[in-house]
Structure 1
């Protein structure tokens, strides 16, 4: 089966043959994983996205038309999955910011001492966790969340790429989210 063209192989996949699907996966998984990983920087998330691409391929196999190579379809599917992942990641970051930022100031309507104590404790935990971060991550997080600088301004100030800034902020928020649980 490994000697078959993509078209011939996909015609067999369309019939529900999992072995042919496995051959297609083996043929393209590494190059797609590399493409995805370069864009998001997390191997775990990249593997999840790759899984989504191939799950979608399997689920839509009856609707997909392949001329010669399946690579253009897989590449485009991977690109859209990365975009969807980034959008979901931004939503997670925004949600977490809404949880974290009120903790740095007195929350609206905090009238009892239990709430005030909890705010102080969580603020203390947040500050300690930020202090434990690597220096670049800590700087990117503080410049973004405390000073309110844009990704571009942070990248310029720290002399790193914008993607590195995004990755560091995302990782910082992930760490804080884990601590907040």
Structure 2
């Protein structure tokens, strides 16, 4: 089983008991405001999402990690890798993403988890390039991307919801592990 430890976090595969805390995160309108159409997700939708994440692990050899706080064992959210099929113009690509519950914002957890995920992608999984796709108004997420050393590559529009997106990228030669 793939696990990554950082000074404060455990990035790991999903457990059945992660469903309720992840559903709570997905039910928070503040968390979901920059995701798709901004709609919250219920328990069933969260279960389907987690199942897709686990399937991607099996199909691609990478996926979305559950992010647990080492100090408390709490599920803080997720960070990981996926193929951004919703945006065909960037394919083939692997995108990094993260989502944390509001109690875990502003403490550097997203940056810590994203850095570990990027290192995993480029050094462990042998990917030579990773992208990030962000709503142009999501400054907190864009700050994480900048801390990773990712550079803006293109501006586009979400094909289904019509809002502006920025695609950032980094390749193995640019990564400072």
TM bin (shorter chain): under 0.3
Q: TM-score, normalised by structure 2?
A: 0.24
Higher helix share: 1
Rg bigger for which structure?
1
Higher strand share: 2
Q: TM-score, normalised by structure 1?
A: 0.24
